[in-house]
Structure 1
Amino acid sequence: MTEPDLNLLIALNALLAQQSVAGAARRLGLSASAMSRTLGRLRAVTGDPLLVRAGRNMVLTPYAEEIRERTQKAVFVARSVLRPPSSALNLSTLERTFTLRANDGFVVALGASLIAAAAKAAPLVRLCFVPKPEKAPGALREGLVDLEIGVLGNMGPEIRLQALFRDRFVGVVRKGHTLEKAPEITAEFYAAQGHVVASRRGDKTGPVDEALADLGLQRNIVARVPSFPAALAVAQASDLVALLPASFLINQPVDEKNGSPATLWSFELPVKTREITVSQMWHPRSEVDPAHRWLRKLVLSVCREKTLAINEK
């Protein structure tokens, strides 16, 4: 009996995860034609079409759906056998790219420090930050990312979790804004200002709006933008008030006279909002991987050092 080509298992996993010949080809660094030929071989071996055309897209057959999770687990087990855990991790020779999924706010606030710390300890390691369009465990389960960083969502019971730091929202305006000159920022005065809101989903309300509503107040929202960097840019160039995580201001240029951002003025909100806990999340298969454990410790160390002042408040 001829032994099956186990290389096909890697290709099968990519095809089932991407549900696209082109996507699987990009994931494995192959040409689309090479991946198409591999799909033909897989169809011959399994006796099933696996991927079929549905309009402009490809969809999995019932058999492909049935074997998807088993295929993924088989690939993970095979990789762990070929790359067993070792207690002797040599960071000077460790050559690996780690993919971290995080929003723009985290990358702006802590990305540079994390990259520098990783390069100093392990010069051949590369960090690849990818966008985080939603809170979902799929990327971790499929091995597309090594770490998910952000506020815990519905990630599933198997995903490992470690809190990195506590954050809170603050108000931010340009230097010289009316709010900076006010003797006291009341909830009424704050709500009456023009506001720019950051929301990638276009949400119309948030915790601050709920707290203001309890007082019978409503923010005067003039504009909505898709990210915190965009909200900050608008606030810097206008009279609008931005609502940002305090950690987002860590790397802003500082005025040496008062220690505040040179072109911005931040203030505590006149209403109480709940704290935010930013965490790192990973799949259990990476739990004992020495390189992954080193990465998690590095992320924790950098985050806690850089956000020490925030956590002490």
Structure 2
Amino acid sequence: MSHPDLNLLVTLDALLSEGSVARAARRLRLSPSAMSRQLARLRETTGDPLLVRAGRGLVLTPRALELSGRVAHLVEEVEAVLRPDDRLDLARLVRTFTLRTSDGFVENFGPALIAKVGAEAPGVRLRFVPKLDKDSTPLRDGSVDLETGVVGASQGPEVRAQALFRDRFVGVVRVGHELCRGEITPARYAAGQHVLVARFRPEKGPIDDALEMFGLEREIAAIVGGFSPALALARNSDMIATVPERHTGNLRTGLFSFPVPVSIPEITVSMLWHPRLDADPAHRWLRECVRAICVKPPTDPRPE
């Protein structure tokens, strides 16, 4: 059984609403002869003449009159299906978004993000899950809606990414630590005991490479999996934590922060999502909320 050409619905709607081949042709930007050919196809498909001559004009047949309202409604429905859905009623939106982030992101940006989301869409709930690795599978399979972090080589090639902010590293010690007094030189910085943040595997990083240029090597006294435990150790011992400034702003309250005395590259923190959510109005709104919270400029680290 052959399927009818659904493009004919648009032509039929124009002919029935205009009641004229010439006016329908102008409406669809076709030539009168092309519209006449379309009318001939419609007559063959429906088995009805649809428009018949009456004096100098055309009138609708009973079948055409019966179809006119239904066809107009069908065309509206089809256009609505194919049109981008920009309608978003935040007051009525009920949805849970799952965000995969580091503990530092939740602790530093989470309260402001939750407050903003709650004020704009009371029915939306945010679910934060830990980021244990950089595998893109949770984004692909839909178990995670949005992720934050540094884009790495292991990221799936189809994953979308948008930069949120650049972050620099700062050193952090407890108030009263010997580094709170005097100039912090590479030698003084390296001489202390350090807590290393290594989520995936312990290894030397850019800080160690920069110290090697001065002929220095730091002593790693402890290894932890996140910024929060690193700062907790620094707060309650003489160890030095080196952490991203923006990512740990709230966590460093009551601690002494200082610029790292060697040159190390900044990192770019981005949000990542799967392309199937690109056009989703609710997800676009969530991305704007995250961006709005994260774009505020940082302050310089100063001794407290």
1:20 paired residue number = none
1:228 paired residue number = 227
Q: Does 1:280 align with 2:286?
A: no
More divergent stretch after superposition (283-292 vs 132-141) = 132-141
Query: Are the counterparts in 1 of residues 133 and 200 from structure 2 also a CA contact under 8 Å?
Result: no
TM norm structure 1:
0.67
* Counterpart mapping for 1:1-313 below 5 A: 86-153=85-152, 154-181=154-181, 183-252=182-251, 261=253, 263-305=254-296, 307-309=297-299
Query: Are the counterparts in 2 of residues 202 and 224 from structure 1 also a CA contact under 8 Å?
Result: no
Separation (CA, whole Å) in 1 of partners of 2:211 and 2:156: 33
Separation (CA, whole Å) in 1 of partners of 2:298 and 2:208: 28
Q: Encode CA deviations 1:95-132: one digit per residue, 9 max, x unaligned.
A: 00001111111111111111111111111100011111
Structure 1 position 206, deviation (Å): 1.3
Structure 1 position 186, deviation (Å): 0.7
- In structure 1, what residue type is equivalent to 2:123? L
The alignment's C-alpha RMSD in Å is: 2.0
- Unpaired runs of 5+ residues, structure 2, are 1-79
TM norm structure 2:
0.69
Query: Are the counterparts in 1 of residues 230 and 241 from structure 2 also a CA contact under 8 Å?
Result: yes
List structure 1 runs of 4+ shifted beyond 4 angstroms. none
Query: Are the counterparts in 2 of residues 193 and 220 from structure 1 also a CA contact under 8 Å?
Result: yes
Q: Encode CA deviations 1:205-224: one digit per residue, 9 max, x unaligned.
A: 11101111122110011111
Query: Are the counterparts in 1 of residues 228 and 251 from structure 2 also a CA contact under 8 Å?
Result: no
- In structure 2, what residue type is equivalent to 1:280? M
Query: Are the counterparts in 2 of residues 117 and 298 from structure 1 also a CA contact under 8 Å?
Result: yes
Structure 1 position 247, deviation (Å): 1.4
- In structure 2, what residue type is equivalent to 1:160? R
Separation (CA, whole Å) in 2 of partners of 1:250 and 1:201: 23
- In structure 1, what residue type is equivalent to 2:169? F
Query: Are the counterparts in 2 of residues 164 and 300 from structure 1 also a CA contact under 8 Å?
Result: yes
Structure 1 position 264, deviation (Å): 0.5
Separation (CA, whole Å) in 2 of partners of 1:171 and 1:308: 16
Structure 1 position 86, deviation (Å): 2.5
Separation (CA, whole Å) in 1 of partners of 2:146 and 2:299: 25
Separation (CA, whole Å) in 2 of partners of 1:308 and 1:104: 19
Query: Are the counterparts in 2 of residues 85 and 289 from structure 1 also a CA contact under 8 Å?
Result: no
Separation (CA, whole Å) in 2 of partners of 1:222 and 1:299: 36
Structure 1 position 252, deviation (Å): 4.2
- In structure 2, what residue type is equivalent to 1:173? V
Separation (CA, whole Å) in 1 of partners of 2:228 and 2:201: 15
- In structure 2, what residue type is equivalent to 1:164? L
Separation (CA, whole Å) in 1 of partners of 2:225 and 2:163: 26
Structure 1 position 308, deviation (Å): 4.1
Structure 1 position 309, deviation (Å): 3.4
- Unpaired runs of 5+ residues, structure 1, are 1-80, 254-260
2:65 paired residue number = none
2:57 paired residue number = none
Structure 1 position 290, deviation (Å): 0.3
Query: Are the counterparts in 2 of residues 100 and 130 from structure 1 also a CA contact under 8 Å?
Result: yes
Paired residues, what number? Answer: 220
Separation (CA, whole Å) in 2 of partners of 1:140 and 1:177: 43
Structure 1 position 85, deviation (Å): 5.4
